[in-house]
Amino acid sequence: MPKRRQKQPITRLFYAGDVHGSRVCWKKFVNAAAHYPADALVMGGDLTGKALVPIVREGDGSYVARVIGERRVAHTAEELDEMQRAISTNGMYPLIVDPAEARALAESSERRDEAFEEALLDELRLWVGFADERLAGTDTRAYVIPGNDDPWSVDAVLESGTSVVACDEQVRMLGPHELVSFGYSNRTPWQTPRELDEEEIYSRLHRLVDQLEAPRQAIFNIHVPPYESSLDIAFEVDEDLRYVIKGGRPHEVPTGSRAVRQIIEETEPLLSLHGHIHESKGVTKIGRTVAINPGSDYGSGHLDGCLVHLEPDRVVNHYLVSG
């Protein structure tokens, strides 16, 4: 008679990444623990937004901004609040300015850099506070790393959390599994803050993997997907940040990291979670490892993520969800 498989304890984790400043997506990420439910939350990086939207305070007391191309005017505090929420739902930072400040922003890149830094750090503090408050009194922790787009200043904010566990380039325990986290990417045409050469990525990941006691039961949380895994397909961009056109259409290329692929193939962890390439959503297998990129559509206010149920030595099931 075939042996009946013994029931094993199940760890339920929810993973998402690339929320890019969308407050509603972050809140959904934190609330996913109670919603699905999940024992642990894992955030794969790229927390901060890409755009700043000036809301200009006019002389008549009204506020004017352009939100996704639509000119919006707020006359009351409620309308202003609604306008700000619409901007942050789209993953942008609202910034109230008077006309003189709006001109200064338009003219000075230093002023824009400063305003951006202030806005994104203020927002991130709110996020960490929300997670600490919402997860207080539970055993659930949010394991969070920055991604290649996130400035270095976010690290200190993440480390200030109690339920938020800042774990970039660390090995942490997640139930019976060791969680390896790594937020850097390989080189991109955008020259973002956290990029490394492939050799350096391999070397740093190898140092982390060397710390594992049970590598085949480990979970990888690595921002950049493995090379040529179908989780890393994006349009090719040249040095001038223009699409490379072949046959009359933008040319698709694998953009993942060769070092990440190599380390997955060598280590064969149970599960490998990735983000970075929003449009390359999918699930694949590399050897015995289940590799997932749930994609991202933060601008719509929907949180793309994946819910994974794990036994100590196998992935029981996984669902790509959009909540």
Partner 1 sequence: MAELGERSVAPAGPQGSYARKATGLVREVSPFSTFVFNMAGQPTAIFLAISIFFTLGFFPGGSIWLGFAMALVAALVICVCYGLFASAIPRSGGDYVLVGRVTHPVIGLISSFFWTSGVILSIAFVALAFVTVALGPSLTAVGLVSESSSLVNAGEDIAGSQGWQFGIGAALIVLSAILLGGGWRWTTRIMNGFWVVMMLGLGTVFLVLLFKSHDGFVNSFNQFAQSTTGEADTYGSVIANAKKEGVDTSPAFSLDNFWPTWAAICSLSLYAWLSLYISGEVRRARDTTQMKMMSLASTVHIAIAVILAVLFFARFGHDFFIAINSLGESYPFAAPPYYTFLTSIAGGSTLLAWWLFITFAIAYPLLILPNITIAVRTFFAWALDGLLPSRFARVSSRTHAPNYAIGLTVVLSVLVLWWAVSNEEGFLKVLFEAVLLQAITMILLGISAVLLPYRRPEVWRASATTQRFLEIPIIAIAGAMVAVILAGIFFIYMHYPDLGIDKGHFFRDCAIIFGASLLTFFVARTARKRQGVDVDKLAAEIPPE
Instruction: Name the one residue in this structure whose structure tokens are 């993997």.
Output: 209
Using the minimum distance from each CB to partner 1, give the nearer residue, 117 or 170.
117
Shortest CB 2 distance to partner 1, Å: 20
**CB contact at 8 A, 144 and 279:** no
Residues 6 or more apart whose Cβ sits within 8 Å of residue 295: 278, 279, 280, 281, 282, 304, 320
Shortest CB 52 distance to partner 1, Å: 4
Using the minimum distance from each CB to partner 1, give the nearer residue, 93 or 220.
93
Burial of 117 (0-12, 13-18, 19+ CB in 10 A): middle
Tally the C-alpha atoms within 13 A of residue 179's C-alpha that lie toward its C-beta.
Answer: 26
Shortest CB 86 distance to partner 1, Å: 4
Shortest CB 176 distance to partner 1, Å: 17
Q: Cα(first)–Cα(last) distance of the chain, in Å?
A: 43
Shortest CB 245 distance to partner 1, Å: 12
Shortest CB 213 distance to partner 1, Å: 27
Using the minimum distance from each CB to partner 1, give the nearer residue, 215 or 282.
282
Using the minimum distance from each CB to partner 1, give the nearer residue, 46 or 178.
46
Using the minimum distance from each CB to partner 1, give the nearer residue, 214 or 316.
316
Using the minimum distance from each CB to partner 1, give the nearer residue, 171 or 237.
237
Other residues' Cβ atoms within 10 Å of the Cβ of residue 206:
14
Residues 6 or more apart whose Cβ sits within 8 Å of residue 195: 148, 184, 185, 186, 187, 188
58-62: long-range contacts at Cβ-Cβ below 8 A with a sequence spacing of 24 or more?
Answer: 58/99, 59/99
